[in-house]
Amino acid sequence: MTINRRKFLKTLGIATFSSQIVSFAAQANLSVNNVLKPRRLQVGDTVGLISPAGIVDTEDIAKAKQTLAALGLKVKLGRHILDRYGYLAGKDVDRAADVNSMFVDKSVKAIIAMRGGWGCNRILPLLNYSLIRSHPKILIGYSDITSLLLAINARSRIVTFHGPVAISSWNGFTLDYLKPILFERKAVTMQNTLITEIRRRTINSGKARGKLVGGNLSVLTAMVGSFYLPSWHHSILFVEDIGEDIYRIDRMLTQLKNTGILNTIYGFIFGECSNCSTGNKPSLTLLQVLKDHLQPLGIPAWYGAMIGHIKDKFTLPIGINVEIDADAATLKMLEAAVI
């Protein structure tokens, strides 16, 4: 009995795709429901520095070493940290290898991304999520590092941390939140200081509890429809962005609404939109856009938290339970994020 060649190839394609899904599910350990918390940092620990996105130079590394030494931490560099491939810090396979290697390296207690830029989305299919789950560690960064934070939280079921990258300003405000969370195992309440450049605005009043999820809005939106996002059910979504015209923020929020994500979440926080412009043409304001999308939902929401491409930053644990108060503009951790 013969089979039509086109039908055979179509059947083969479906079978191959199905086997890929099964393989991916097995690798990602999808049957595991519990979220793992990494071990806390201690003075004397070694942290791994990686460049999973944009390129860095020796001056960046020297600055990062100085910053981390002031916290009593030692540094181990990723093998490919100084690689260059166009605007990327090396080939995809090499950047992914540094991520995988740092998780399996027993001498490394936490992993810090050197900087953002672009490139983390490209390496997500190359990460070994089951290996990463078997070696849970602190992973911290922001901006393009959003891809790694969300994918590893979703597929490896590990708490990850939206916070400073290695070349950030690790100033007093930033450390006042980072150290209690990552070193001291404290559940803290995050609130803007009285003296801040960000004017916070309540969009919808109220309190809500849920699982904290989020990151850079542009990066997160680019991941929609992939295997690499966590569940939005019972979640508190936080986002931030930089250098985007307001209509683009509107477009991205519209995508989150049209895909059903905004209708699923319990609460919403917009951090800072640094250098976001209304452009030369008639435009809505950012606050108008946020109100258009969020007020009809009736969920607690506010704008102006210390999240984003700014000097003073919160450290936000992705995957733990929190309570937000949109009127007081506070985010309260309901549990420690490390063990």
Backbone angles phi, psi at 93, to 5 degrees: -65, -35
Residue 172 to residue 170: CA distance in whole angstroms? 7
Please classify residue 103 by burial: count the beta carbons closer than 10 Å to its beta carbon, then call 0-12 exposed, 13-18 middle and 19+ buried. Answer: buried
Known active-site residue 101: no
Known active-site residue 233: no
Among 188, 218, 139, smallest CA distance to 306 is for: 188
- The two structure tokens encoding residue 242: 């930089």
Residue 229 to residue 223: CA distance in whole angstroms? 7
Are 139 and 160 in contact by the 8 Å Cβ rule? The answer is yes
Are 77 and 180 in contact by the 8 Å Cβ rule? The answer is no
Report in angstroms the alpha-carbon separations of 78 from 36, 52, 85, 143: 24, 10, 16, 20
Known active-site residue 143: yes
The one catalytic residue in 80, 162, 293, 309 is: 309
Among 86, 88, 76, smallest CA distance to 50 is for: 76
- The two structure tokens encoding residue 87: 């605007």
The one catalytic residue in 51, 80, 143, 147 is: 143
The one catalytic residue in 218, 235, 240, 272 is: 240
Among 109, 106, 84, smallest CA distance to 95 is for: 84
Residues labelled as active-site residues: 143, 240, 309
